[in-house]
Amino acid sequence: MNKVLIIDDEKNIIDSLSVILEDEGFCVLKASDGKQGLAIFESEAPDVVLLDVWMPELDGIQVLKEIRTRKDDAKVVVISGHGTISTAVEAVKMGAYDFLEKPLSIDKVLEVVSRSIGAGAKRDPDVAHFRLEVSPGLTRTKQKTIGKSTVVYGVGLHSGVKTGMILLPMPENTGIVFETIPDGERIPAYIDYVFSVGYASSVKGRNSVVRTIEHLLSACHMYGITNLLVKVSEEIPIFDGSAIEICEKIDEAGTVEQADGIEPLVITEKVELGNLSNGKYLAVEPWDGFEIDYLLEQQKPIGTQQYLFRGSLKDYVSDIAPARTFGFLKDFEQLAKMGLGTGGRINNFIILSEDGVLNTKLRFEDEFVRHKVLDLIGDIYLLNRPIIGKITARQTGHVENIALVKELKKRFL
């Protein structure tokens, strides 16, 4: 029988959690303060610790440090009634397995406890019963998650708010899911939940929105990650304007193949978006592999740039992931008037004038078209499965990318 230690100074929390966990077959240990909790941890060696942050004398962060000193692989789930992304990021960075916000959800408590002991989710997370659709036949690609939790700090490009995100492993068939802090709503990274496009791709649940998801999804696409929990406030950090830091964090966490598989979306007929204006073109056709041919034609100093990407992770990390977000100064000023782009800084956004780059040195001569490829790789992963086919794009952005994803879902899934 797995042991769960609850450390919380609120008796009603301990009593409620005890009833729920005991009913699910766990052996529950209880402590009303940090000192007592450490003593029980030492003597009983619980499998999971549910630890409140805000306690008198020895607070939860201090207890977490002590537990990690005594057993560096201990599974500690931090609980807070004043949940913020900064508290969550700090806790996980210090070694917490996960973070829960009060008021607690029964389903989430059981899901996190079960996941932490490797038993999978006992109940479906509250994401409108969203699950990855798995083919009943032989699968061609194994599902993947990350090997351990990891955290990253940054600034939101459009909100300008200092933020961060926590990436956590998830069981098979969960999909990539965002969980907003502090309200705890879960939103799948799936085309049905796309809320707005244009300057960035966003998804929306009942009450919350998560913005600027394309760089994270781009990296997940190329690493083959199909199951992931992303805890964030309202916007994925922009980092340096590229996806390279996300790749580094995935490499640090590692990836794990899972037992179940996922059928790639195999393009069996050409799909071409119609009625596109201003020379735009976007189509996908049958191909033996994953390939993107992108042509970008804009005013100086960008000019005409073309890039052919042939779907390997190695090429993605070296040639696509470092390419940064860009825009003209006049567009940047317009974004500011719209209340967007306020997180753009000298080090995370390529700012252009008609004469050239204003604020940085380009990483590639054709960095602009490479970033367009990066965004397209991310947007197309809103189907949460690999694609086998060739995409041809000219002048397109998030709006057209999302339209193509919707058409693919309608025709093939």
**What pLDDT was estimated at residue 136?**
46
pLDDT in tens, 159-196: 556 678 999 999 999 999 999 987 889 999 999 999 87
**What pTM was estimated for this model as a whole?**
0.82
Mean pLDDT of the chain: 88
141-262 CATH: 3.30.230.20
Do 338 and 196 contact (CB within 8 A), yes or no? no
Average pLDDT over residues 262-268: 94
In 25-175 the beta strands, taken as DSSP E runs, fall at 27-31, 48-52, 75-80, 98-101, 141-146, 150-155, 162-169
Residues annotated as catalytic (active site), given as ranges = 398
**What pLDDT was estimated at residue 157?**
58
The CATH architecture that domain 265-412 belongs to is: 2-Layer Sandwich (3.30)
Q: How many residues does the chain have?
A: 413
| pLDDT > 70: percent of the chain | 88
Give the domain 3-116 fold.
Answer: Rossmann fold (3.40.50)
pLDDT in tens, 302-321: 999 999 999 899 999 999 99
Average pLDDT over residues 214-243: 94
Q: How confident is the model at residue 252 (pLDDT cuts 50, 70, 90)?
A: very high
Checking if the pLDDT of 339 tops 50, the result is no
Average pLDDT over residues 117-139: 56
**What pLDDT was estimated at residue 371?**
98
Checking if the pLDDT of 119 tops 80, the result is no
**What pLDDT was estimated at residue 161?**
61
In the chain, the N- to C-terminal Cα span, in Å, equals: 42
Residue ranges covered by each domain of the chain? 3-116, 141-262, 265-412
141-262 and 265-412, same CATH topology: no
Do 265 and 398 contact (CB within 8 A), yes or no? no
**What pLDDT was estimated at residue 234?**
83
Q: What's 279's DSSP letter? A: T
Which of these, 193, 272, 187, lies nearest to 234 by C-alpha position?
Answer: 187
